[in-house]
Structure 1
């Protein structure tokens, strides 16, 4: 066995494509519990891959440079443009991708800079305020900072999401919640 054979794989294009193929075959209705669960599983699966990269870094199986590479690799796969025959399904997948954006940024920020100082709830409130002021870069930055806190073991109260107006910040916080779940219980979500 060569050294390359022993390289741990955290996520693959094939895994993402399997999810997309399954979504293409399903009748998706976001109001339907099974459809919503399928979309959430897709999101959670990517968040679990990120949590596994972070765990490998923490365990010393990979270094910071490799961790950043792996996080970017998962991000490149998951955030690539998806084009399905069904426009509604493409929009639903786009929503999942949007939710995952701060997950990748927060993980990368955590690897290179550690946990930022501050309160998770205050970061989320600041993000909502920034979104209301149409400063989406600042809003994303606050959610990413909250994400580094979550990775560092601080709790995101999901009730915060229910208080947010629907928009980018609520979607981004939903992604951070998936990351929190993945870190707390990194069980693999089965594709089939």
Structure 2
């Protein structure tokens, strides 16, 4: 699609500040507390999983339109940056446990968002091995080189968006750390893509902010 036609696409809000604030409101109202029982914690923490998934779905819609040449690279990156600014902005403290969960949400989203940006930029090698990239990211983290660690993580995510899969054995053996949290975001992208491809076909006029 020619650049001038791309710029004539009607404005569509893929994600909004209001939507994020609604999720934060739900988190606040949940009264979430970290429990000893995994079952109880799992039920109550669903709000935070859904929070991540909602942002990722919005980003997948951006990428789907980019892939169809309905958005230019510049415009897609601009929209992703707007989403990043919304969801990674500082959140006012709610409670110790909820604050910890929101911090985890934002760290996971950081991993996901840099993956989307890497994909749109085309700044990755399609022939790269995901397991090796994860290994490199973990090694970079252990050397306190978080910039390289983030770059390797971004490339992992770009490959997932290209259709590759995260090796289960790699995810199972991840040492606890920031790379593991970033990769949680990448894993959420993978799960969203497997769960449904409805994000590829959406009607802008019917889309509602139902959160």
TM over 0.5: yes
Per-residue deviation at 1:160? 2.1
Residue 128 of structure 1 is matched in structure 2 by: 138
**Alpha-carbon distance in structure 1 between the residues aligned to 2:28 and 2:58:** 22
Are residue 24 (structure 1) and residue 28 (structure 2) matched?
yes
Q: Which of 1, 6, 12 matches 2:10? A: 6
Per-residue deviation at 1:71? 0.5
SS of the aligned residue for 2:128 comes to coil
CA contact (8 A) 1:52 1:186 kept: no
CA contact (8 A) 1:115 1:152 kept: no
Alignment of 1:23-172 (within 5 A): 23-30=27-34, 31=38, 32-113=41-122, 115-116=124-125, 117-172=127-182
TM-score, normalised relative to structure 1: 0.89
CA contact (8 A) 2:153 2:179 kept: yes
Per-residue deviation at 1:60? 2.3
Structure 1: stretches of 5+ with no match in the other structure: none
Are residue 15 (structure 1) and residue 19 (structure 2) matched?
yes
* 1:150-185 deviation digits (Å, cap 9, x = unpaired): 111111134422211111011011000111223332
| Change beyond 3 A, Cα 1:182–1:115 | farther
CA contact (8 A) 2:115 2:158 kept: yes
Are residue 175 (structure 1) and residue 185 (structure 2) matched?
yes
CA RMSD in angstroms comes to 2.2
* 1:114-147 deviation digits (Å, cap 9, x = unpaired): 5424111111111112222222222111111111
CA contact (8 A) 1:158 1:177 kept: no
> Which protein is bigger by CA-based radius of gyration?
2
The alignment covers a number of residue pairs equal to 189
Structure 2: stretches of 5+ with no match in the other structure: 1-6, 200-208
**Alpha-carbon distance in structure 2 between the residues aligned to 1:124 and 1:4:** 40
| Change beyond 3 A, Cα 1:105–1:93 | same
| Change beyond 3 A, Cα 1:186–1:158 | farther
| Change beyond 3 A, Cα 1:159–1:186 | farther
Per-residue deviation at 1:4? 8.6
CA contact (8 A) 2:33 2:97 kept: no
Residue range with higher mean Cα deviation, 106-115 or 43-52: 106-115
